[in-house]
């Protein structure tokens, strides 16, 4: 299977997975409120925070199509080891990882950056950019441009810098 075939298969399967996970977890996910909302408000517009939901899960599961990828000899991102993942505007945070309140908020910030990326790009384009970045960078998670953006802004958040995430990402997403 060549990269184009892999990309097409991944686009179809991952899109279904994202939409399905958002549907399943979106029903039980909670709005961001209280101290978390207050801490994130300088970085995100109210409407963005209002649209996002967070669900705590025992562990983040890998997609059901992973065995097919492994059969093709592809290395995959092991989501079971992740602290969080974002499905459009529904954020899952793993309870399996013990973390301080500061670390939890940092992870939530990172996932909120992905919420803004989804808003700018839409689901399909976000997915295209994410998967193309993964394939182009030899399936290295840390080299995916959308992740690099989120981690860069997360580091700035952790240092206490003040900025608008939408403004910073708008620079990348000018059409």
Domain ranges of the chain: 3-169
Prediction pTM value? 0.92
8 A C-beta contact, residue 112 and residue 44: yes
131-157 pLDDT, tens digit per residue, is 999 888 877 788 899 999 999 999 999
**Structure tokens that stand for 61 in this block:** 């599961």
- Read off the pLDDT of residues 37-60 as tens digits, 9 standing for 90 and up: 999 999 999 999 999 999 999 999
| Residue linked to tokens 């029903």 | 27
Residue 154 near residue 84 (C-beta atoms within 8 A): no
- Residue 66 pLDDT greater than 80, yes or no: yes
Least Cα distance to 89 among 138, 43, 51 occurs for 51
């Amino acid at each position: 299977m060549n990269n184009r075939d892999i990309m097409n298969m991944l686009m179809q399967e991952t899109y279904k997975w994202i939409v399905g996970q958002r549907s399943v977890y979106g029903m039980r996910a909670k709005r961001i409120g209280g101290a978390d909302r207050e801490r994130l408000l300088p970085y995100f517009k109210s409407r963005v925070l209002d649209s996002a939901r967070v669900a705590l899960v025992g562990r983040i599961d890998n997609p059901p199509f992973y065995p097919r990828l492994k059969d093709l000899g592809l290395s995959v991102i092991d989501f079971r080891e992740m602290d969080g993942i974002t499905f459009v505007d529904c954020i899952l945070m793993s309870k399996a990882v013990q973390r301080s309140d500061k670390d939890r908020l940092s992870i939530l910030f990172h996932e909120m950056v992905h919420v803004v990326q989804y808003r700018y790009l839409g689901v399909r384009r976000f997915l295209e950019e994410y998967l193309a970045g993964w394939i182009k960078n030899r399936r290295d998670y840390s080299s995916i441009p959308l992740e690099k953006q989120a981690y860069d802004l997360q580091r700035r958040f952790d240092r206490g810098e003040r900025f608008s995430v939408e403004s910073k990402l708008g620079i990348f997403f000018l059409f």
